[in-house]
Amino acid sequence: MNDSGGQENRVLAALGYPIWIVALIVLLGDMKHNPFMRSHAVQALGYNIAWVVIAIGLGVITSFPGMWRLAFLEGFVYLAWFALGVFYGYRAYQGQMFAIPVVSQFTARYVGA
């Protein structure tokens, strides 16, 4: 457990993963001065951007002739995005600082770590 600054901060950090706009509000507001909040907000935005890139890539691939058969994977991608968002949100609510593979490497420079 890390110093998260209270339950309200943990709730906002948790909501940032499945609801990206919450993470953006944290970064644009005064809560960005709290290291716990800033870390989770930047990581949550990076997480959501990564999933958008994956969804767009899958959409482009399935738009080619004959590749429409892979369109069922889009449902799995959205389910995985939501399930992992809830899982990471739960960990943030517990007050944990954690790294998301690949995403944390790109977002570390914005956190100041």
Residue at 83 is within a domain: yes
Token pair of 62, please?
């399935």
The answer, yes or no, to whether residue 92 has pLDDT greater than 70, is: yes
The answer, yes or no, to whether residue 3 has pLDDT greater than 70, is: no
Q: Where are the alpha helices (DSSP H) in 4-102?
A: 7-15, 20-28, 35-63, 72-93
Phi, psi torsion values for 87, nearest 5 degrees? -60, -50
Residue at 65 is within a domain: yes
Residue at 14 is within a domain: yes
Domain that holds residue 75: 7-106
Name residues whose C-beta falls within 8 Å of residue 100's C-beta, 6 or more positions apart in sequence.
43, 46, 47, 88
pTM value is: 0.85
What distance in Å separates the CA atoms of residue 3 and residue 67, rounded to the nearest whole number?
A: 48
